[in-house]
Chain A
Amino acid sequence: MTTFLQQLVNGLSLGSIYALIALGYTMVYGVLRLINFAHGDVYMVGAYVGYYVSRRLQGREPSIGSALLVMLVAMVVCGILGILIERLAYRPVRREARLTLLITAIGVSLFIENAAQLVFGPDPKFFPSLAPRADFHFAGMRLTSEQITVIAVSVLLMVLLRFFILKTRTGKAMRAVSFSLDAAKLMGISTDWIISVTFALGSALAAAAGVLIAMQIPKIDPLMGIPYGLKAFVAAVLGGIGSVPGAVLGGLLIGTSEVMVVGYLSSTYRDAIAFGILILVLILRPQGLLGRVQKEKV
Chain B
Amino acid sequence: MSAILEVRDLSVSYGAIVALKGVSLSLAEGEIVTLIGANGAGKTTTLRAIMGLVRTAGGEVLYRGAPTRSSKTHQLVRDGLVLVPEGRIVFANLSVQENLEMGAYARRDGGVAADLDRVCALFPRLKERRRQTAGTLSGGEQQMLAIGRAMMSGPKVLLLDEPSLGLAPIVVHAIFEAIREIHRSGVPVLLVEQNANAALRHSDRAYVLETGRVALEGPSAEVAANPKVKEAYLGE
Contact = CB atoms under 8 A, between A and B. Distances in A.
Interface in A107-150: none
Interface in A179-193: 179-180, 182-191
Contact of A169 (B53, B85, B89, B101): B101
Contacts of A55: none
Given A172-B101, A173-B102, A186 B73 contact: yes
B48 to A, nearest CB: 8
Given A172-B101, A182-B53, A182-B85, A187 B106 contact: yes
B165 to A, nearest CB: 16
B92 interface: yes
A293 B161 CA distance: 27
Interface stretch (B75-83, B120-128, B223-231): B75-83
B39 interface: no
Contacts of A185: 51, 53, 72-74, 77
A182 B89 contact: yes
A179 B101 contact: no
A186 B85 contact: yes
A187 B89 contact: no
B94 A186 contact: no
B197 interface: no
Of B92, B94, B103, B105, the most chain A CB neighbours within 10 A belong to B105
Interface in A153-181: 169, 172-173, 175-176, 178-180
B157 to A, nearest CB: 13
A189 B72 CA distance: 10
Contacts of B102: 172-173, 176, 184, 187, 189
Interface residues of A, number: 18
A175 B74 contact: no
A179 B93 contact: yes
A180 to B, nearest CB: 5
Contacts of A175: 91, 93-94, 98
Contacts of A190: 72, 74
Contact of A186 (B83, B93, B98): B83
B91 A186 contact: no
A184 B105 CA distance: 10
Interface in B144-169: 149, 153
Contacts of B92: 179
A182 B54 CA distance: 10
B74 A189 contact: yes
Contact of A187 (B53, B72, B93, B103): B103
Contacts of A179: 91-94
A279 B90 CA distance: 34
B91 A188 contact: no
Contacts of A186: 51, 73, 77, 82-83, 85, 89
A15 B77 CA distance: 43
22 contacts: A169-B101, A169-B105, A172-B98, A172-B101, A175-B91, A179-B91, A179-B94, A180-B89, A182-B53, A183-B89, A185-B53, A185-B77, A186-B83, A186-B85, A187-B106, A187-B149, A188-B77, A188-B78, A188-B105, A188-B106, A190-B72, A191-B74
Q: Which 4 A-B residue pairings sit nearest by Cβ, starting from the closest?
A: A188-B106, A188-B77, A185-B73, A183-B89
